[in-house]
Structure 1
Amino acid sequence: MATILVVDDELGIRALLSEILSDEGHSVELAENAAQARAFREHTRPDLVLLDIWMPDVDGITLLKEWGATGQLTMPVIMMSGHGTIDTAVEATKFGAMAFLEKPITLQKLLRSVEQGLARQSPRPALPATQQVMLSSGGARELTVEHTLASPQTANHNAPLALGPQSEQVFVLDRPLREARDAFEKAYFEFHLAKENGSMTRVAEKTGLERTHLYRKLKQLGVDLSRNKRSGGN
């Protein structure tokens, strides 16, 4: 179906991704470092690249920048990392990555991201105004970061709003970093407040913040505490 280049210094990750993608009918090429990835890209244009960020010789974002500077970023690139942050994700998408997956990568998220990447078949040399990041919480203690790009074909501006705390939200990245971080933090705390029916005690426990600090943080972010506050207590 497609030729996918997997670049990761961990043998186990390369083997696992190769097995999964091969089972899906793709042709998988493997590289354990940036040098091998460069050599492959010199003579072949893969349909998609899965690129680890933290590698011992040259990190993935540096390699992504090189491909962009030399005109070789002609394929979708999905970044991977087990130590990713929202800042790292923003940087990756800024330099052309179409998505960011946090390890351990679930089968569903991997296949969905690969499918989306192959459907687009185009690089992202700059940060367009339509670029967004979707943050999906996998539970009270886990946060999985998955980056997608909204398109006119897939965006549904007339979709009804779901009720209750939403574990998936969309954040526009074409804005100053501080504003993007504040928007994420506000949505994060509003999610937990709604989930805990406005209980500051339980939200403090869930988020690991001291209650007074939590209250100051919510006021700073402009979170409407009365909206989620339960009747008869907190």
Structure 2
Amino acid sequence: MANILVVDDELGIRELLFEILDDEGHSVELAENAAQARQARQRSQPDLVLLDIWMPDTDGVTLLKEWAATGQLTMPVIMMSGHATIETAVEATRIGAVGFLEKPITLQKLLQAVDKALSRAPLHMVAAAPAADSAAAPEAAAQTPAQGAAAPSAASAEPKEEAAALCGTVALPWPGRGTLMLDLDAPLREARDAFEKAYFEFHLAKEQGSMTRVAEKSGLERTHLYRKLKQLGVDLSRAKRLA
């Protein structure tokens, strides 16, 4: 589970997000303004920040720019707002935000955004590194006139190209059932559920529907296994027919 910093000047929003994320097993720290967010960023090194745009002392976009300029944007940041314009959301994304949540925030959208941001955190950190390097060594951008002229578009395209190379559908051979397709571009929760469903369907078919043997194979208790299969929507009768 992750360490998540929630920055919002509304007490109700902070409490709601804390309850949801804490129930998911995350460690959650709260800040009600930019000053507290700066302190929390230095103190706890969060894995993810949920950052409100409109705050009384310093707005979220300004704080995001500050972190980016000082090399502190080493974690994914999801912006939140109930009044932001499309231009504001685009600007935040350009600076380095990985997502945007519109208030009121629903449970499903929150968890999907958090899972997606955490799953791409290493990519975000790698993509942020060249920006810091270019500030420290501007001569690198002037190696050739042609490269220097194209640098802004190339820099903005590289993270997208890297993300595209890492995302997509993976085809895995599935004995007796052809090919298993896994969508790695899906939110982490959905991708995990798809894999787990395929895993249990495979072993149920292999063990001719024996819950005891599948429980032993997976290391789960029978009652836990049954709840898991029901949650994933596994058809036990179909698994037996495929054996």
Equivalent of 2:156 in 128, 133, 147 = 128
For 1:103, the equivalent position in structure 2 comes to: 103
The 5-angstrom pairing of residues 151-230 of structure 1 reads: 151-155=164-168
- Return the offset for 1:41: 1.1
User: Cα deviations across residues 73-116 of structure 1 (Å, max 9, x unaligned)?
Assistant: 10000000001221111100011100111111111111011001
- Give how far 1:38 is off: 0.3
In 1, Cα distance between the equivalents of 2:159 and 2:112? 18
1:71 corresponds in structure 2 to: 71
Shift of residue 154, structure 1, vs aligned partner: 2.8
- 2:18 is the alignment partner of 1:5: no
Structure 1 equivalent of residue 56 of structure 2: 56
Alpha-carbon deviations, 1:141-178, whole Å to 9, x = none? xxxxxxxx96333346xxxxxxxxxxxxxxxxxxxxxx
Q: Distance in 2 between matches of 1:16 and 1:22?
A: 10
Structure 2 counterpart of 1:190: none
4+ residue runs over 6 A deviation: none
SS in 2 for 1:6: strand
Letter in 2 for 1:153: L
Q: Is the 8 A contact 1:130 1:151 kept in 2?
A: no
Q: Is 2:16 the counterpart of 1:16?
A: yes
- Per-residue deviation at 1:28? 0.3
Structure 1 unmatched ranges of 5 or more: 133-148, 157-234
What is the letter of the counterpart of residue 54 of structure 1? W
Unpaired segments ≥5 residues, structure 2: 132-154, 170-243
Answer whether contact 1:7 1:51 (CA < 8 A) is retained.
Answer: yes
Kept in 2: contact 1:50–1:78 (CA 8 A): yes
Give the C-alpha shift of residue 128 in structure 1.
Answer: 2.8
Counterpart secondary structure, 1:55: coil
3-state SS in 1 of match to 2:100: strand
- Cα distance 1:93–1:131, how it changes in 2: closer, same or farther (>3 A)? farther
How has the CA–CA distance of structure 1 residues 39 and 102 changed in structure 2, closer, same or farther, with 3 Å as cutoff?
same
Letter in structure 2 aligned against 1:128: S
- The number of equivalent residue pairs is 140
Distance in 1 (alpha carbons) for counterparts of 2:63 and 2:12: 22
- What TM-score, normalized by structure 1, do the two folds share? 0.56
Letter in 2 for 1:154: C
Q: RMSD in angstroms over aligned alpha carbons?
A: 2.0
1:168-226 deviation line (CA, Å, top 9, x unaligned)? xxxxxxxxxxxxxxxxxxxxxxxxxxxxxxxxxxxxxxxxxxxxxxxxxxxxxxxxxxx
Counterparts of 2:163 and 2:19, CA distance in 1: 29
The 1-side partners of 2:91 and 2:39 are apart by 24
Q: Distance in 1 between matches of 2:46 and 2:75?
A: 7
Q: Do 1:6 and 1:28's aligned partners in 2 also have CA atoms closer than 8 Å? A: yes
* Displacement of 1:44: 2.2
TM-score by length of 2: 0.54
- Tell me which structure has the larger Cα radius of gyration: 2
The DSSP-based 3-state class of the residue aligned with 1:129 is helix
